[in-house]
Structure 1
Amino acid sequence: MSLVKQVMDEVNQVMGLIDESQLASAEQLIQKDKRIFVLGAGRSGLMAKGFAMRLMHIGYTVYAVGETITPSIQAGDVLVAVSGSGKTGSILEVVEKAKADGVKVVAVTSNAESPLGKLGDTTVVVPGATKAGDGVKSIQLLSTLFDQSVHITLDILCLMLSRRDHVSNDTAKATHSNLE
């Protein structure tokens, strides 16, 4: 079997396990009148920033935690935190502080029973393999399957949001960078 087929079979297996009701719960928290903050470390952070970019394209006010232009998070804001293991200390510390300040949390992790999974006001479980060995087993290195599946899952959430908010592809295209 080719490597391409093996990788695609893994991604399809994980995506087949996504609970769309969890995405619907996340969709309810993410509203245009809320500021959205995203958080993740390493490749999970890159997936979170990709999600932030798409949210911006469909009209949301969105920030990446840790960037120099990110304002303080406040009660009523929403934090989307991504961690495959759900145990990353730097992520948990920020999430705990945000929750104490009245921020709603969307947790994205491979393990609902992880500390992050339990902290989420809503939790989206993406059961792809992580470097800790959680989730669907993979031939790919470290957390690659989790990262790939998170990217697709969060793009699906953006599609749900754009449909709910009646944002067309042309509208989203108008906000795409024109400095390329």
Structure 2
Amino acid sequence: MALIEQVKSEIDEVLDLVDESQLDDVEPLLTKDKRIFVLGAGRSGLMARAFAMRLMHIGYTPFVIGETITPSVQADDVMVAVSGSGNTKSIVELAEKAKGNGATLIGVTSNKESKLAQLADKAIVVPGATKAGDGVKSIQLLSTLFDQTVHITLDVLCLKLSRRDHTSNAVAAHAHSNME
């Protein structure tokens, strides 16, 4: 089997295991009157940033933890923390801090038994392989399968939000950067 076919097969296997009702459970927590903070380290952090970007396109107010212009997390904010293992110390500590400040925590992880999943108000389990060995096994390096499937899963969540809010592609395109 060609490598592309193997990778597609792995992605399909993981996405078949994602419980879409978890996205439906998270959807009411994400509203345009809330500030949404995203958090992740390494490639998981890049997936979190991609999610924040798409949220901005569909009219939300996202911030990326660690950026210089990111304000403090307060009560009534929402934090979306992404960690394949769900046990990355820096992510868990900041998630705990956000909860301590009164934020609602959404954990996105491959490991439903992880510290992040247990701490979260709502969890989205994306069981792709991680460098810690969690999830569906993969021929790909480290956490590539988790990262790929988290990207798709969070894009599906944005699609659900855009449909709920009646946000058209034209409206999203208007918010897209024009400084390219």
Question: TM bucket by the smaller chain?
Answer: over 0.9
Please tell me whether residue 67 in structure 1 is matched to residue 67 in structure 2. Answer: yes
Q: What secondary structure is seen at the aligned counterpart in 2 of 1:31?
A: coil
**CA deviation digits over 1:47-84, x for unaligned, max 9?**
00000000000000110000000000100000000000
| 1:148 alignment counterpart | 148
TM-score by length of 2: 0.99
Structure 2 partner of 1:8: 8
- The residue number in structure 1 matching 2:19 is 19
1:88 to 2:88 alignment = yes
Aligned to 2:162: 162
Task: Confirm whether residue 53 of structure 1 aligns to residue 53 of structure 2.
Answer: yes
Measure the CA separation in 2 of the matches of 1:176 and 1:61.
Answer: 14
For residues 125 and 92 of structure 1, what CA distance do their matches in structure 2 show?
16
Residue type of the alignment partner of 1:111: N
Q: Distance in 2 between matches of 1:98 and 1:63?
A: 13
Q: In the TM superposition, what is the alpha-carbon distance from 1:90 to its structure 2 partner?
A: 0.4
Residue 100 of structure 1: how far off its partner (Å): 1.0
List gaps (5 residues or longer) in structure 2.
Answer: none
- Work out whether 1:42 is the aligned partner of 2:42: yes
Whole-angstrom CA distance in 2 between matches of 1:150 and 1:26: 15
Shift of 1:28: 1.2
Instruction: Name the amino acid aligned to 1:91.
Output: I
TM-fit CA distance, 1:161: 0.2
Q: Percent identity?
A: 69
d(CA) in 2 for partners of 1:150, 1:165: 22
Distance 2:159 2:82 in 1: 19
**How far is the alpha carbon of 1:143 from its aligned partner?**
0.1
Please list the CA deviations of residues 15-65 of structure 1 after superposition, one character each: whole Å capped at 9, or x if unmatched.
000101100111111111100000000000000000000000000011000
TM-score by length of 1: 0.99
C-alpha displacement of 1:101: 1.1
Unaligned 5+ residue runs, structure 1? none
1: CA distance, partners of 2:60 / 2:66? 19
Supply the AA of the counterpart residue of 1:176: H
Deviations 1:152-176 (A, max 9, x none): 0000000000000000000000000
**Paired amino acid for 1:156:** V
Q: State the AA in 2 paired with 1:40.
A: G
